Amino acid sequence: MVTRLYSHPIFLEHLTPIGHPERPDRLRAIERVLDDEIYSPLDRIVAPFGDEATILYAHPERFAEKIRKAIPDDGIVTIDGDTSVSPKSWDATLTAIGAANAAVDDVFAGVADNVFVASRPPGHHAEKETAMGFCLFNHAAIAARHAQNRHGAEKVAIVDWDVHHGNGTQDIFYEDPSVLYCSTHQMPLFPGTGAKHETGVGNIINAPLTAGTGSDIFREAFLSRILPALDNFRPDLIIISAGFDAHHRDPLAEINLTEEDFDWATGKLMDRAERFSSNRLVSLLEGGYDLQGLSFSVGAHVKRLMKG
């Protein structure tokens, strides 16, 4: 497998208030783990700045302008109780979009089998017209549309194993049968959406998990709900909204996964990518707030991506 890794120093410059869990140290911890010799075969690329026009794949222009105008010259400005912007936030989120779209270009060009994007801020809570849950724009949704608009992908699957429901991605594709959105998440928990009965036009598969559950229930949700939906859908591309806050050490939730669970789930999705999409798989970092839980889980995830 040729596995690419996109990163960029600008991702450290999106600043959040002191004590905020979504902080630059998350990426520093990931970098330290991926510095290990076993990751030396990774094809490491500096993320390109995104094409602003691609924001409009998932968000209306007035919303994009609202975010641009919210960026301060100095200090930190809050958008809601959880979400804020600092002077470099526009460049960071646009570079996250650039990396996600470039990753899609790479797997369709065949220069990489799969790609991991280590970026921040995350994106899956960003709805069409609402920035929330630490997210400004929805990078996964934009990348899915980019695959359709630029590469002729007919069907794109987004699998979201972040412990929070990706309300933004669900919102953007709720009436779009060309995109399958599958999510495991703790419920009840922020943002409150993600019930089983939220099914869109049959393209939304929500697998809510009860607080205190762990590996067995998570794997069962994958085996009984998410993998059958993928088998039925036969995607041309799989995008993972890869949050690692369902790890047992994470302070924001109560699901007890380990690194082995992320390794296992990665393997299952690679198996589907091999079967349906010529291995094309793009993984985008979302949440994960315990530095050890996050970095070790990313390590297991990327190691599996490299191995096949």
Q: Give the footprint of Zn ion on this chain (CB under 5 A).
A: 162, 164, 243, 245, 287
Active-site residue flag, 125: yes
Give the residue nearest to Zn ion (CB): 287
Nearest distance in Å: CB 286, Zn ion: 6
Rounded-to-integer distance, Cα 287 and Cα 19, Å: 16
Rounded-to-integer distance, Cα 115 and Cα 262, Å: 16
Nearer to Zn ion, 200 or 287 (CB): 287
With a CB cutoff of 8 Å and minimum separation 6, the contacts of 299 are 33, 34, 36, 39, 259
Q: Catalytic residue among 59, 124, 125, 139, which? A: 125
SS3 assignment, position 168: helix
Nearer to Zn ion, 235 or 287 (CB): 287
SS3 assignment, position 89: helix
Nearer to Zn ion, 3 or 186 (CB): 186
Nearest distance in Å: CB 23, Zn ion: 14
Nearest distance in Å: CB 139, Zn ion: 14
Q: Which residues of 264-286 are buried (b: 16+ CB within 10 A; e: fewer)?
A: bbbebbbebbeebbebbbbbbbb
Nearer to Zn ion, 250 or 263 (CB): 250
C-beta of residue 260 within 8 angstroms of C-beta of residue 298: no
- Across-strand partners of 281? 114, 238
Nearest distance in Å: CB 253, Zn ion: 7
Neighbours of 73 (CB within 10 A): 5
Nearer to Zn ion, 288 or 299 (CB): 288
Q: Which residues of 232-256 are buried (b: 16+ CB within 10 A; e: fewer)?
A: ebebbbbbbbbbbbbbebbebbbbb
Nearest distance in Å: CB 185, Zn ion: 8
* Helix and strand totals (H; E) in the chain: 9, 10
Residues marked active site are found at 125
